[in-house]
């Protein structure tokens, strides 16, 4: 099953919509509780559902239309984001508060991170996690038992960051935000145990330090300050060059950081940087999304207990609503202006087809 993709155009315009007919069709089409939905939806978050921490495009009201009168999920949907650096439970809690909905952790699965779980050869190996938020905690949730954040890792090496004397505020900020932050030293012997892999989990905050430390790790075979060695594995959660925030124009994303790191590494090392990028539009992301959506089919559907069986009925259509042509909506067939219009389009089409 492939996703049918829609994009949210960045235009400011107001169109009067008559949703009465849509609501009537929707009610008739799904009045039987035993009927299993034939379609499901995946939403991008940044620029589509939220701008920063502010809902946009009438997203809360639009999403409420995917629930029944009792607040139970009627149409399966997930938030398909390329990152964030926080655990699924925390993301679900934040979205629930901002949108006024009961969002479950499974609905905001960081499906790009689940690709990391396939790298189980590193389960017990020392790996470094970089990015904003809580990258090490996120990796731990996916089964990595010997993971350390780049913040903690860099703090172990005196003078590894030549600009550190001018960044005293960063250490204080980390300590204030994370009660687990321990300046007394790590639980891992980073001076003798080689880093086997580095994972860029979310957008890095301190580019200069992170590029310096990653170059040290990657050029020396995982032991900064030592001789040149075989490059450890390097993974990026996504390769988004830009993304939308509250600022009027798009901001540089993880893809920009990857370009900077690769350019510097290649200029200072005899071998080109080797890496793997996950996240949208990697096919595995959408394949994993369908699996998650199947598991969200309402429990009152008569075939709910069969959804994990080989003979389970798959969705006829899966929709992706995003705002980035290169990532979310490659090959998009429909352009709309808001999340409300996207859901109008989907419900009108699917409910009419079911009559």
Task: Find tokens 């909905």 and name the residue.
Answer: 101
For the chain, the domains span 39-111+282-299+309-351, 113-174+188-277
For residue 329, what pLDDT band results from cuts at 50, 70 and 90? Answer: low
Model confidence pLDDT, tens digit, residues 173-206: 444 454 444 444 456 789 999 999 999 999 999 9
Answer yes or no: are the C-beta atoms of 156 and 185 closer than 8 Å. Answer: yes
Provide the b/e sequence for 283-293 (b: ≥16 CB within 10 Å): eebbebbbebb
Q: Determine the Cα–Cα distance for residues 254 and 81; give it in Å rounded to an integer.
A: 13
Given a cut of 90, whether residue 354 has pLDDT beyond it is no
What would the pLDDT profile of 212-263 be if each residue is shown by its tens digit? 999 999 999 999 999 888 999 999 988 889 888 888 898 999 999 999 999 9
Q: What is the C-alpha separation between 125 and 108, in angstroms, rounded? A: 28
Question: Is omega for the bond preceding 281 within 30 degrees of 0, making it cis?
Answer: yes
pLDDT at res. 261: 98
**What integer pLDDT is reported at residue 332 of this predicted model?**
42
Please report the DSSP string for 169-186 in residue order.
HHHHHHHHH-TT--TT--
> In this predicted model, which residue has the larger pLDDT, 221 or 5?
221
pLDDT for the residue numbered 253: 93
CA dist list (Å): 227 to 9, 95, 158, 222, 330: 51, 47, 18, 10, 44
Task: Label residue 108 by pLDDT band (50, 70, 90).
Answer: confident
Q: Which of 14-28, 51-65, 262-276 has the highest mean pLDDT?
A: 262-276
Q: Is the pLDDT at 5 greater than 60, yes or no?
A: no
Contacts for 309-313 with beta carbons within 8 Å, 24 or more apart?
Answer: 313/36
Per-residue pLDDT for 150 more than 90?
Answer: yes
What is the model's pLDDT at position 56? 85
- Residues 76-103: tens digit of each pLDDT: 888 887 766 888 888 889 999 999 998 8
pLDDT at 212: 98
pLDDT at 25 over 70: no
Q: For 113-174+188-277, which CATH superfamily applies?
A: HAD superfamily/HAD-like (3.40.50.1000)
| 23-37, 54-68, 187-201, 248-262: range with lowest mean pLDDT | 23-37
- The reported pLDDT for the residue numbered 123 is 85
Measured distance CA(296)–CA(40) in Å, rounded: 9
Say whether 113-174+188-277 and 39-111+282-299+309-351 share the same fold.
yes
Which CATH architecture does the domain made up of 39-111+282-299+309-351 adopt? 3-Layer(aba) Sandwich (3.40)
């Amino acid at each position: 099953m492939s996703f049918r993709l829609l994009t949210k155009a960045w235009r400011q315009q107001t169109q009067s919509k008559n949703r009465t007919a849509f609501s009537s069709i929707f009610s008739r089409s799904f009045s039987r509780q035993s009927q299993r939905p034939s379609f499901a939806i995946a939403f991008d978050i940044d620029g589509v559902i939220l701008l920063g921490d502010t809902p946009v495009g009438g997203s809360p009201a639009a999403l409420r239309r995917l629930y029944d009168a009792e607040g139970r999920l009627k149409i399966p949907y997930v938030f398909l984001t390329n990152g964030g650096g926080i655990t699924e439970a925390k993301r679900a809690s934040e979205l629930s508060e901002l949108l006024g909905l009961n969002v479950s952790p499974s609905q905001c699965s960081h499906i790009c991170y689940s690709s990391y779980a396939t790298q189980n050869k590193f389960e017990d190996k020392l790996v470094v996690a970089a990015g904003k938020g809580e990258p090490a905690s996120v990796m731990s949730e996916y089964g990595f038992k010997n993971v350390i954040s780049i913040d903690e890792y860099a703090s172990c090496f005196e003078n590894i960051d030549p600009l550190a004397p001018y960044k005293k505020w960063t250490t204080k900020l980390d300590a204030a935000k994370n009660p687990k932050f321990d300046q007394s030293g790590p639980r891992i012997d980073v001076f003798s145990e080689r880093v086997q892999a580095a994972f860029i989990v979310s957008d890095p905050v301190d580019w200069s330090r992170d590029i310096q430390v990653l170059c040290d790790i990657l050029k020396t075979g995982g032991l900064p300050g030592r001789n040149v060695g075989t490059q450890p594995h390097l993974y990026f959660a996504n390769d988004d060059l830009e993304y939308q925030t509250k600022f009027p124009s798009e901001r540089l994303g993880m893809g920009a950081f990857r370009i900077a790191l690769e350019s510097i590494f290649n200029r200072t090392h005899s071998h080109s940087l080797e890496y793997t990028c996950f996240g949208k539009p990697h096919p595995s992301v959408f394949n994993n999304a369908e699996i998650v959506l199947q598991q969200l089919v309402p429990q009152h559907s008569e075939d709910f207990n069969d959804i994990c069986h080989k003979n389970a009925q798959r969705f006829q259509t899966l929709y992706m609503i995003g705002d980035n042509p290169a990532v979310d909506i490659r090959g998009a067939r429909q352009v709309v202006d808001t999340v409300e219009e996207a859901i109008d389009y989907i419900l009108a089409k699917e409910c009419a087809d079911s009559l």
